Amino acid sequence: MTTRNTSIKHLAIVLSAILLASCASLPPPEYRMPPGEGYITASWYGADFHGRPTSSGERYDMYGLTAAHKEMDFGTRLRVTNPDNGKSVIVTVNDRGPFIPGRDLDLSYGAAREIDHIGKGVGLVKIEYLGRDMRYVKRVEFSPSLSAGMISIQVGSFIEKSNADRLKQGLDLKYSDVYITTFLKDNQKFYRVRIGRYDSRDSAYTVASKLANEGYTTLITSKE
């Protein structure tokens, strides 16, 4: 073996050792299996919810191209295809639901109209996962008046109780200890949706950061 070949072989061994050492020092990445694709049961919702806040905080636009799902992160983009006619539409998940057993996806009226799903009402569609709009990820906020003692996470505050009830219903699909409190300010009653009772900021932050990454608006505050 020539001196040149020996040097190249020695260099390759050194580089391999460095690469293996650097890889070993890094923590394994957290892998989340994407929703993938398949056939699920879809319905649609419309005028009764038009203009009301969705679970992500956006106002529901029945003519927009959005959808509600029980667990997918807000901002998840899906191609939804009606197998009866091959028509497809791309939607963004920005709400929770549907709440009727046996249904997996609630399309906006506009999305359902695009694929001629209005008359069908409920039926199988094919979904394909197209990634996520990361603008839906939120920051965890802390109340300026946060004091020592028990802490909770506020996810929404509403004048209309029905809006608070619907947000709670969506959170109940995945989280425990979700409750509604009332607060009176300037003779106006507010309905606050909250999660948990924590004895430290760190324990509250662990849950709040998960909620915020999912796309919920979160505020760590003192428990009333």
Q: CA distances (Å), 170 to each of 31, 42, 115, 224, in order? A: 25, 17, 26, 23
Q: How confident is the model at residue 148 (pLDDT cuts 50, 70, 90)?
A: confident
Of 1.10.150.20, 3.30.479.30, 3.30.70.1070, 1.20.120.1200, which CATH number belongs to 140-222? 3.30.70.1070
pLDDT over 50 (residue 31): no
- CATH 3.30.70.1070 boundaries in the chain: 140-222
The whole-model pTM stands at: 0.81
- CATH 2.40.40.10 boundaries in the chain: 37-135
**pLDDT one-digit tens code per residue, 68-85:** 999 999 999 999 999 999
Beta pairing, strands 188-198 & 151-158 = antiparallel
Taking alpha carbons only, the member of 81, 174, 170 closest to residue 130 is 81
Q: What kind of fold does domain 37-135 have according to CATH?
A: Barwin-like endoglucanases (2.40.40)
**pLDDT one-digit tens code per residue, 32-66:** 445 567 999 999 999 999 999 999 999 999 999 99
Q: What pLDDT sits at residue 149?
A: 83
Bridge partner list, 42: 105, 123
8 A C-beta contact, residue 153 and residue 207: yes
Q: What pLDDT sits at residue 89?
A: 98
Q: How far, in Å, CA of 74 to CA of 188, rounded?
A: 31
pLDDT over 90 (residue 17): no
